[in-house]
Amino acid sequence: VMLPLKDKDKPVVQKLLSAGCCARCVLRFCCVRVQAAYRRPQQEILKDLQDFLHGPEKNQCDVSTDNKSCDPVVSEAAADPPSKRAKLETDLSDDGQAEAAAAAAAAIITETHCVCVVCLGVLQEFSDTDQAVKTEKYEFDSLVLSVSLPAQLCVREHSCWLHVKKEVREKSPLLDKEDIVPLKEAYKWLVQSTISTELGGVFSPLEVAVEFSHNPTDSDCECHLYQQTILHKNKCKCWAFMSVCRHYSCPPTQPSSSCVLQGIQCLHQSVFIAGRYNKFCRSLPQTPWLIDGERRMESSVEELIAAPVLSAFRANGFNFSSSGREDVDVRTLGNGRPFAMELLNPHRARLNVQDMKQLQESINVSSDKIRVRDLQIVSREAMGRMKEGEEEKTKTYTALIWTRKPIKKEDIAFISDIKELTLDQKTPLRVLHRRALAVRQRVVHSMNTRFLDAHHFHLELKTQAGTYVKEFVHGDFGRTKPNLCDLLKMDTDILELDVESVDVDWPPSIQE
């Protein structure tokens, strides 16, 4: 690899190296935008820089670089970035040789031990970053890297720029600060390629946030130069070198320690799944039921579904939503109720049709209280379709009715003739604590009765979604009008309720 440097860069390179700048920061200040140049081991870059300055065969740069490439370690490391994995493997399999080579390299270029006066080591010791991603075993397709650096680094950068500018003012065209490759940019070139090639892929983005700090120089933020740098970010030409020297050393002083990696946060974009669930149990709430912080039932529909899902996607958490919800004592039969889940920070994001089928199966064998079908990965946007049709859709129910007075089969037969019965439902008392008080009109499209005995019958109802069936039966203190008590002219109560169907055509059904 030949560094894309020109003769005019020589004084700059010279000045930066002697000021204690690391090899990669030298590249930045020379406005090198070839990413591959940064990814080479810094000893090599440094060696090339020194050859560039002092090399005997000034006109045969290519040849000299080629010659160096004959060294096995150098040639391997100098290869294109995708071979980083190959390099690591070589290191592992061939430990001794690699170590010896590294020691040799260190002996030649002692400068590498020094912490860079500009980046405070950010571009020198970055290998921990990809390690963090690897230990969490993320599967991802692309990477969005964000880097947080100590704010005071801009002081060092500016001081160093002034230092160079003073030197080269006469000899070369003005070095524009905006042309310097930003430290963050260079860091991302270094790290991003390493992580991506380690884990590969194209589609689902993983967000990696890296944070550095450097406490010993935090007080730089209080210096005059820092204020100026912040204020005149892009108009630094206006203040003179001399004034800077009064407030901050130029070039920056040699630091005794590197930046500390505060933490690496990895966050994979949410994955959304959808399906339909049946609930076969009359003592199972849909979501965990807490009263005064205490759990009322040992499990819930969402937890029974979530446990296998979270482990399949290796997600950190979830948000569950569904097309309506049934009460704890209500069963949901038939094709089930549409639901969707947002899976937070999934470490595994891409399950194929077969994987999803297996996941569904593992949910279904894990409990006989629920059953899931049509389980699939969906888009965030598609989830909206579950909610949008909620009010217009119909639902069918079967209710077990108790009557206070004895009934005969023919006493209830007339109910089947009632069609499109409009109810005025005040917000039921049982949900009034969390819903606004209102009178809502809901339609019972049709009803059918199945006589059981003198005090019981089954009532089948087809209703507009959002109809409170329990309140329609017992009347809720007369707050639902008309109600079944009115129709039958006697007290009635609801003993059991089953949802027979939730007529929402999303998510699409999957052939078993």
Residues numbered 469 to 498 that lie near other proteins (CB under 8 A) are 474-478, 493, 495-496
Q: Examine residue 436 and tell whether it contacts other proteins (CB under 8 A).
A: yes
CA distance 283 to 351: 33
**Position 172, amino acid:** S
Cβ nearer to other proteins, comparing 39 with 426: 426
CB 234 within 8 A of CB 156: no
Beta-bridge partners for 394: 464
CA atoms within 13 A on the CB side of 312: 24
Cβ nearer to other proteins, comparing 222 with 453: 453
38 Cα distance to chain centroid: 28
Cβ nearer to other proteins, comparing 291 with 365: 291
Contacting range for other proteins; rule: CB under 8 A; set: 174-182, 210-218, 246-254, 454-462? 454-462
Q: Examine residue 429 and tell whether it contacts other proteins (CB under 8 A).
A: yes
- Closest separation in Å from C-beta 436 to other proteins: 5
Candidates 434, 489, 511, 512: give the one binding other proteins (CB under 8 A): 434
CB 377 within 8 A of CB 351: yes
Annotation marks residue 327 as catalytic: yes
Q: Are strands 142-148 and 205-213 parallel, antiparallel or unpaired?
A: parallel
- Closest separation in Å from C-beta 470 to other proteins: 9
- Closest separation in Å from C-beta 497 to other proteins: 10
Contacting range for other proteins; rule: CB under 8 A; set: 72-80, 111-119, 123-131, 400-408? 400-408
Candidates 33, 314, 450, 456: give the one binding other proteins (CB under 8 A): 456
Q: Quick one: which H or E segment has residue 452?
A: strand 439-453
Exposed e or buried b per residue across 354-390, where buried means at least 16 C-beta atoms within 10 angstroms of its C-beta: eebeebbeebbeebebbbbbbbbbbeeebbebbbebe
CA distance 15 to 175: 13
Contacting range for other proteins; rule: CB under 8 A; set: 384-392, 409-417, 453-461, 499-507? 453-461
Q: Examine residue 432 and tell whether it contacts other proteins (CB under 8 A).
A: yes
Q: Examine residue 454 and tell whether it contacts other proteins (CB under 8 A).
A: yes
Cβ nearer to other proteins, comparing 382 with 400: 400
Candidates 433, 489, 511, 512: give the one binding other proteins (CB under 8 A): 433
Burial of residue 402, with CB atoms counted within 10 A of its CB: 0-12 exposed, 13-18 middle, 19 or more buried: middle
Residues numbered 287 to 326 that lie near other proteins (CB under 8 A) are 291
Q: Examine residue 402 and tell whether it contacts other proteins (CB under 8 A).
A: yes
**Using CB under 8 A as the criterion, what x/- string covers residues 248-287 for binding other proteins?**
----------------------------------x-----
CA distance 5 to 461: 81
CA atoms within 13 A on the CB side of 118: 30
Contacting range for other proteins; rule: CB under 8 A; set: 154-162, 349-357, 411-419, 434-442? 434-442
Candidates 51, 329, 460, 500: give the one binding other proteins (CB under 8 A): 329
CB 168 within 8 A of CB 13: no
DSSP track, 95-136: HHHHHHHHHHHHHH-GGGGSPPTTTTTTTT--THHHHHHHHT
Active-site residues, by number, are 327
What does the binding site for other proteins look like in residue numbers (CB under 8 A)? 282, 291, 329, 400, 402, 404, 426, 429-437, 452-456, 474-478, 493, 495-496
